[in-house]
A and B are shown apart, each in its own frame.
Chain A
Amino acid sequence: MDIDLTFEQLVRDHQAMVFRTLLRLTGNREHVDDLAQDVFLRLYRALPSFRGEALITTYLYRIAVNVAQDEWKRRRRDDRSHVSLSDETSAWEERLAHPDRNAEQQLEEREFQQTVEEQLQLLSQIERTILILYHQEERSYEQISYALGMPIGTVRTHLHRGRKKLREAIQQRQTKERRTECQTNR
């Protein structure tokens, strides 16, 4: 009974972080509940072998990344296209809007956020994971290195490469959009 209660508290303490990470890693709200549950059940099963050489949060990131990888594999098998983060029921980027900005700026900001989300999902799994863990979750190189089981140097390389690819993809898209606008105005 005690163990269950302690574990329930542990879930409560870390659930937001697990939901957030899974949501962005998979780019899908549809199964986040199930995936998060899977993460905590895997943690529970792994606890006896947890030797405490890392923080429980870092250990959880590691499990969350594994669960997301399994989900990517499953999707590839199903050959199903992913549902965007900004589907009608979610539109989470709307909540990021600053109240002091005018409507046009907010709309532009929302569109930009949407573009970044789309391009993020087009990166390789490893680049996407590292970008999310570093920028969104503010993990250190060491923690990411432990969570993904790769050397720190490789983490840095993927981070740099991922950011570059993301920026270039957005630049290309913006250029294309501008060209289309010009052609339409003519």
Chain B
Amino acid sequence: MSDEPMNSKHVNKAADDELDLRVLRALEATPGIEIPADFAARVARQLPARRPVSLTPTHSMSAPASYAARKTFRPMRPKPLIPTRTAIPNLRFVSKKTPTCAGQAEG
């Protein structure tokens, strides 16, 4: 058994590792940048005239009073299957048929 293939494998592995390391180093290198001295001031000058309301993220506004009232005191509605009207007997009609106390006295 020759140890040549083993050696070449080791060499290849070492070369791969070396390449990986070089690639990573190249990726991690930060490019040199040239920022104009007045860059921030220039950006500030470009800001639109209408400013954002606030820089703070948590800012809540309450709803108009009328809206709140409607939401709070919304009337309870009946269930649709419950009849809301019930038949009321006609009292006049009923009174004709049934003898009254006064009628009895006359007869």
Contact = CB atoms under 8 A, between A and B. Distances in A.
A4 interface: yes
B67 interface: no
Interface in A11-26: 11-12, 15-16, 19-20, 23-24
Nearest to B28: A135
A135 B46 contact: no
Given A20-B31, A92-B32, A40 B43 contact: yes
Interface residues on A, range: 35 or more
Interface string A109-122: 00011001100100
A112 B46 contact: no
A41 B46 contact: yes
B83 interface: no
12 contacts: A8-B40, A11-B39, A15-B35, A24-B31, A37-B42, A93-B29, A112-B26, A116-B26, A132-B27, A135-B27, A135-B28, A136-B29
Interface of A: 3-9, 11-12, 15-16, 19-20, 23-24, 32-33, 36-37, 40-41, 44-45, 47-48, 50-52, 85, 90, 92-93, 95-96, 112-113, 116-117, 120, 131-132, 135-136, 163, 166-167, 170-171
